[in-house]
Amino acid sequence: MNVLVVTAVPAERDAVTRASGGYDVIAGGVGPAAAAAATARALATAPYDLVVSAGIGGGFAGVAPVGSVVVADAIVAADLGAETAEGYVPVTGLGFGTVEHLPPAALVRHAARAAGAAVGTVLTVSTVTGSAARAAELRARHPHAAAEAMEGFGVAEAAALFGLPVLEIRAVSNAVGPRERDAWRIGDALTALGDAFGKLRPVTESWTPYDH
């Protein structure tokens, strides 16, 4: 199986590359637009069977502690919409677009088991959460949220354009909420990311789109 892994930055790319054993891994840039563009460019130049968005991110308290790994069962654009007098409305509530991509359930299940990862919604945001109030708002809107990052939805949009399944894997470097940089554990998260990918290859080699 030909697998494309898209990370945001070179440190994430290198952590995955050292452990992945044969996946094509690129650093596509930060944010959903850069991720979508880089993914689409890669998919247009080589054949792939699966696309994976990977990297570090924030974990929601009580679900994904620092150093843990999350496999997304839903990839959601959490701030693609409009603010109204009644509150936030997703773009789908405005009558167009999409805000969610669902990775193959069997692949999610097998990948999470192999990596010892939690399963939950991974939110894609263009602005990283920096307050407890914002974290609470996101959890209220997305009760199954496990992690927050900035690229998954962009990668998923490009994969969908090419008719390919997508997976998102995040290693948690910090808690979603107030920005306490001294509490971030980026090195630990990169190590956890590499460890997860070291266990993933047998899963992708054995998985087929018909595996439910």
Query: Rounded CA gap, 120 and 92, in Å?
Result: 21
The mean pLDDT value for 44-48 works out to 95
Structure tokens at 39: 């993914």
Least confident of 12-21, 140-149, 175-184: 175-184
- Which residues, 6+ apart, have CB-to-CB distance to 158 below 8 Å? 35, 36, 37, 39, 40, 43, 51
Contact 99, 77 (CB under 8 A): yes
Query: Rounded CA gap, 92 and 186, in Å?
Result: 34
pLDDT digits (tens, 9 = 90+) for 114-133: 999 999 999 999 999 999 99
> Quick one: which H or E segment has residue 146?
strand 145-149
- The reported pTM is 0.93
Nearest Cα neighbor of 111 from 34, 29, 53 is 53
pLDDT digits (tens, 9 = 90+) for 65-118: 999 999 999 999 999 888 888 888 888 888 888 899 999 999 999 999 999 999
pLDDT digits (tens, 9 = 90+) for 168-211: 999 999 999 888 777 789 999 999 999 999 999 899 888 877 66
- Which residues, 6+ apart, have CB-to-CB distance to 11 below 8 Å? 186, 190
Instruction: Give all domains of the chain, ordered by start, each with its CATH number.
Output: 3-206 (3.40.50.1580)
